[in-house]
Structure 1
Amino acid sequence: FAQIASTTLNLPTAKVEVCMNDSALPGFSMGTYGSRTTQIAGSAVLLAAEAVRAKALQVAAQVLEAAPADLVMEDGRITVQGVSARAIELSELARMVEEQPDLIEREPPNPANGTPIEGLAAWRDFSSPGLTYSSGTHLAVVEVESETGEVHVLKYVAVDDCGRVLNHYLAEAQIHGALAQGISQALYEEVLYDQDGQLLSGTLLDYTLPLAGQVPDFVTDLIETPSPNNPLGAKGVGEAGCIGGPPAIVNAVLDALSPLGIKTVDMPLRPEKIWALLQAARNGTQPHAGNDEGAPASERKVL
């Protein structure tokens, strides 16, 4: 949000403070889901920042006696293009508008709570005209230990189209984190109950997660196809690795096991499950590859 506002207003990001709102104040929303924060809230920030920019240029044009089209907003200052001596700080402009409110056209009150909108402030909302879909291709290279059933992810490549990328560093970081979660879902995470409904995996000692050394270096790339459904052109990025990771890893493991005739296995791909499949294939039998395979009756899931 700070980056969107600072880019629109040509301010250093450090000068933008993001204040978290009270969730009881805004109007009705469909909910928080679908990795749509940038698409929806980010677009509202953009529209509000553009409105503030237009107001600032309108007032600066009066103060500097120049047309708005001849003004340049940069680094917290508004300057007449080509005449650096004719300039005013954005902070000074805001003070002037507070002292002389007639310099600017008043906006209607905030529809969420009726608060007056005064000075160089703006309230904007955004509702997407349609759904936005991300896409991507994920490739996993795995190694299966034939004697233990342990699965090692040797390499992982992910190419995702997340729409217009506003911050490549943060987008890559989100993808890396989601890929780690995807690997965790595929190989480790499992909710287990005994026959009495007692949770058996209620701590991190039982509900296992991968360590840093169990996650490979990721090779990632981003394709930018802007979405037509929001002014930022953004799409969701946070769930890319969680969605693409598990099937990529499971398919890679099944490819490794295909010479033995093994065609299906349920997540998580724990060593004991893969080992049982390998033993059955060697013995000419094919056990059920579900989550209960190999677990004592007292530890099978009751869902």
Structure 2
Amino acid sequence: MVNLNGNLTEKASVSFDNRGLNYGDAVFETLRFSGGKIYFWEDHYFRLMASMRILRMEIPMNFTMEFLEAEILKTINSEEKKGVGFRIKLLVWRKTGGKYTPNTNEIEYLISTENLETPFYVLNEGDCEVELFKDHYVASGLLSTLKSNNRLINILGSIYAKENDYENCLLLNEHKQVVEALNGNIFLVSGNTIKTPPLADGSLNGVTRKQLISILGTMEDFKLEETSISPFELQKADEIFITNVIQGIVPITKYRKKEFGNTIAKTLLAKLNLKARMG
């Protein structure tokens, strides 16, 4: 069951001239729902509103945080099989009309769900070997920080990883700085210093990234730096981990000849779970 503009339906269709389909004129939020709540819903909502404003979409008067939360809950409650958690995608696109220049800035939306296997974040203890993806680069700047559906670099990088038996790849910007992983932000641990690329480098304005920055701000034993990261720093790190709202924290176990631990990742994941339940 999906929710198309407030109407629940088992089958949703879009027009052949849908602007999201034809021009990538769309933004989305991926949400985690568990324990009767949407994780970090306020942050997701305000990021969506900011993205729509940046893309000059017209935000409907009824598109409040309470309205969208109610629509998400309505969609979840329509599912016959109640899971322990849900992955939710909230997709917003500009209405049909025009070519590159739209006829209107009014929007439509779709909410879809998938079942999750665990009610909370669980640390992945399996192998996660990564490599740099260097065929294409993320453009540094504001548009790269958005959750738009212009994700060709992520798609091609995922194909490259699959073809070469990597679990993930790290993306670079045009200055050859490490920006993020295929499906989330990255953090490097070196001693008591933890680094993550700044948004100005083109990294995604991730909600889980924001939560970890907040958590690390309360931990006196660590120093957080939002700073550009060179590929040469990767093999010098003690730990590297990926963050996203569905998996929480995913430790990288190997990059080229260097293998990494996950001690800090475990500590942070416990704090992230606590914040998700209380926030």
TM over 0.5: no
More helix by share: 1
TM-score, length basis structure 1:
0.28
Q: Identify, as 1 or 2, the structure richer in strand.
A: 2
TM-score normalised to structure 2 length: 0.29
